[in-house]
Amino acid sequence: MKTAIKTRSQSMAFILAASLVALGCAAIDSTAQAADAQQPLTRTVAYGDLNLDSEQGAKVLYARLRHAAEDVCFPLDSRDLAQKTAWQRCFNHAVASAVAQVNRATVTALHNQTVGHSTKA
């Protein structure tokens, strides 16, 4: 009985994670979206295999979220300064949205630490 509840809980977390990176697409400029503007770019991020109460599990999930955000925002990847700015905005929004939806202290702390380091340059 407890296993079924845990599995159902992990499934809900997985479904939530699958929708997180889709929010990053909201930051994509309409001119840079994929050919089919009706379908947002998404990536499924699974983390049912991770212990998010541990620093190591949080690091693994955060790396997965960042990689998924890179994939989602790929259509904006360019050497053009305006496109590069749009890509960075998309990436930042996708990661921040995903972290907020995961809503785990360890992942949020890691994200805040990473964002804090990147702005001190």
pLDDT in tens, 13-48: 544 444 454 444 444 444 444 444 445 677 889 999
Confidence (pTM): 0.67
Concatenated DSSP letters for 52-104?
Answer: TTSHHHHHHHHHHHHHHHHHHHGGG--SSHHHHHHHHHHHHHHHHHHHHHH--
- Cα-based torsion angle of the residue sequence 24, 30, 36, 38 in order, rounded to the nearest 10 degrees: 70
Average pLDDT over residues 56-68: 96
Residue bearing the bigger pLDDT, 66 or 6: 66
**Given a cut of 80, is residue 4 above it in pLDDT?**
no
**Percent of the chain with pLDDT strictly greater than 90:** 40
Q: What is the mean pLDDT of the chain?
A: 73
Q: Where are the domains of the chain?
A: 2-26+35-118
Query: How many residues can be counted in the chain?
Result: 121
The counts of H helices and E strands in the chain are 4, 0
Residues 78 and 61: their CA atoms lie apart, in Å, by: 27
- Cα-based torsion angle of the residue sequence 49, 50, 52, 57 in order, rounded to the nearest 10 degrees: -170
**Tens digit of each residue's pLDDT (9 = 90 or more) over 97-117:** 999 999 999 999 999 999 886
Nearest to 111 by CA among 59, 67, 73, 42: 59
pLDDT the model gives residue 117 = 67
